[in-house]
Structure 1
Amino acid sequence: MGCFGCFAPAARRGAGDLKPSKLAHHCTDDDSVADAQRKVAPDVGSGCAHSFTFKDLLVATGYFNEANFIGEGGFAFGSLESHLFDVPHGKPPLDWNTRVKIAVGVAEGLSYLHNVADPPIIYRDMKAANILLDEDFSPKLSDFGLAKVGPVGDRTHVSTRVMGTYGYCAPDYVVSGKLTMKSDIYSFGVLLLELITGRRIYDASRPKPEQSLLTWSRPFMHDKRKFHRLADPALRGSYPPSALNQLVVISIMCLQDQPHVRPIIADVAIGLNHVASQPYASLASMGSPAYSGSPQYSRTPSRRRGGGGGSRRVSQHAS
């Protein structure tokens, strides 16, 4: 709405003269409602917004009938935070494939802000609470209150007061106040680590050595043989080990202290799509009629002598 002329004294007097009975009469007139809706609709062709009266709004919305209410704040399936942390008893945790799908969607949303939006946008408030999910667990970035227009031309950064959520802010940004696209990359690395572990970036309810996710995870992230120790116990081992390793590596790359070492979000999205191309499917779900037929993981005989025992090898078969 480009004009608020409806709040002028004359308009207020006009609105006060409208009795509920009269409004109800007008709202039952399909032609009147259609005319009002057409009048309220913006004139896209002219590039200008319409000004309209309060009465127009009342008629077009059916006296602000709740049946015509689109929504306010929040989202129709909650945030990632509500599905990932402190899952109540009886509610299934997010499975591996869903976590990877969310990671891919968030990376692609961030890629749009960095590479498609003109001028580019630095999100600056990446966190699980700001990732909203629909019923298909497709993620949407929300709450752009801290977003900033990114550097353009010869500028390498945006100087600003340090703001964001504790634990998610890149260390270089915290120290210097210089905000860059790579600040978002660090925050995304934290989010990715939360998806892998099922742990909050900071959780005061845990024993002190485990309260900081970054502190707790560091010994495991430095040794590939210990990557599996990072996996959320709620997954109960239901994930492809090689894909887990790849996800951990992507998180490590994003969490580098030096911003110039962190990857750009477009490369992160490519890596995550590769991980998503290796979905986990249990043997039970493979034989189920409900199984969708996407790429599967199955057991194959070991290459070790004897062929029967020892390690398990994972292979991918096209559907």
Structure 2
Amino acid sequence: MPNGSLADWLSPESVAPLSWPMRLKVARDAARALAYLHQQMPSPIIFRDFKPSNILLDEKWNVKLSDFGLARLGPLDGNTHVTTRVVGTHGYADPEYVRTGHLRTDCDVWSYGAFLYVLITGKPPISLYLPTNEQHLLEWVGDGKFRLIVDPRINGQFPSQSAQELATIAENCLLRNRDLRPKMSHVLNKLDELIMDSLLETIPPFVLVVDRERVTDRWKVSNEQQSLTIVKVKRKRRFICLPHLGYSKK
């Protein structure tokens, strides 16, 4: 893939860190991929090894899942789980799956929650070279001090509220009670809302549009560089440009 794997960009050796908006995009795209596997296939597919090194980025920074070698069909015919030999990557494998061998789609949901904290902090789930109280990421981030845990390479260039909301999504995915974990489609909806709210916080009150073509309640404008969608947001009394995100309306 032109932009390698997400693990490459989260590595301390990375040439440049991923910006906060790009991290949100990756989180959203990855959630969409898992939601598709879990809920839109003829039979649910459990990825079983969801981690940054298996998330590839194409030339437009779109997420592509790779390495389906450990993937399994989910439970069928009313069964609640598949019993299987435990495999996966330490730090990303659902503890309940490791304990029982019972594989369900919510095992991927737990892995996704661990992945979100890796995305937020830029740290791997287990780092034995760090001080003892920081070696296990999911224990270290539990105090919720977001300004301290967000990847320092971003240099504070992120909305604090956005980081807190992303961490809340992660915490819900990491619930010990598997039945209380959200579906990936629900996670995807939450991330769409989070990205839209982040856009509304940063976009000026009005965007001047020229050469616009009216299409119902939206406008499309194109030039040689890119195509944008202009959407009227009534509750905000303004127009907003949504590059690369497609049409959305609040």
* Common fold by TM > 0.5: yes
Equivalent residue runs for 1:22-171 within 5 Å: 75-88=1-14, 91-171=15-95
Match of 1:178 among 79, 102, 121: 102
Equivalent position of 1:276 in the other structure: 195
| Alpha-carbon distance, 1:261 to partner | 1.1
Q: Supply the distance in 2 between the matched residues of 1:208 and 1:227 (Cα, whole angstroms).
A: 20
SS in 1 for 2:128: coil
Q: Supply the distance in 1 between the matched residues of 2:154 and 2:228 (Cα, whole angstroms).
A: 22
Q: Supply the distance in 2 between the matched residues of 1:316 and 1:237 (Cα, whole angstroms).
A: 30
Where in structure 1 do 4 or more consecutive aligned residues deviate above 6 Å? 290-295
Give the AA of the match of 1:268.
Answer: V
1:90-148 C-alpha deviation (Å, 9 max, x unpaired): x2210011000000000000011001111110000000000001122111111001000
Change (3 A) 1:234 1:318: farther
- The answer to which structure has the higher helix fraction is 1
Change (3 A) 1:237 1:122: same
- The answer to which structure has the higher strand fraction is 2
Q: Supply the distance in 2 between the matched residues of 1:187 and 1:195 (Cα, whole angstroms).
A: 12
Change (3 A) 1:129 1:273: same
Q: Structure 1: which 5+ runs fail to align?
A: 1-74, 221-225, 296-314
Equivalent position of 1:248 in the other structure: 167
Match of 1:217 among 135, 141, 154: 141
Q: Supply the distance in 2 between the matched residues of 1:122 and 1:249 (Cα, whole angstroms).
A: 23
Q: Supply the distance in 2 between the matched residues of 1:139 and 1:255 (Cα, whole angstroms).
A: 22
| Alpha-carbon distance, 1:171 to partner | 1.2
Match of 1:259 among 164, 170, 178: 178
Change (3 A) 1:77 1:105: same
Equivalent position of 1:229 in the other structure: 148
The structure that has the greater radius of gyration is 1
Tell me, yes or no, if the aligned pair for 2:146 and 2:160 is still in contact at 8 Å.
Answer: no
Matching of residue 199 in structure 1 with residue 118 in structure 2: no
Q: Supply the distance in 2 between the matched residues of 1:291 and 1:230 (Cα, whole angstroms).
A: 35
The TM-score with structure 1 as length reference comes to: 0.62
SS in 2 for 1:140: strand
| Alpha-carbon distance, 1:247 to partner | 0.5
SS in 2 for 1:132: strand
* Identity over aligned pairs, percent: 38
The TM-score with structure 2 as length reference comes to: 0.79
Equivalent position of 2:216 in the other structure: none
Tell me, yes or no, if the aligned pair for 1:79 and 1:132 is still in contact at 8 Å.
Answer: yes
Higher relative contact order (CA 8 A, sep 6+): 2
Tell me, yes or no, if the aligned pair for 1:87 and 1:93 is still in contact at 8 Å.
Answer: no
Tell me, yes or no, if the aligned pair for 1:186 and 1:254 is still in contact at 8 Å.
Answer: yes
Superposed CA RMSD in Å reads 2.5
Give the AA of the match of 1:264.
Answer: K
- Out of 78-87 and 105-114, give the one that drifted further: 78-87
Q: Supply the distance in 2 between the matched residues of 1:132 and 1:101 (Cα, whole angstroms).
A: 13
Q: Supply the distance in 2 between the matched residues of 1:219 and 1:294 (Cα, whole angstroms).
A: 40
SS in 1 for 2:157: coil
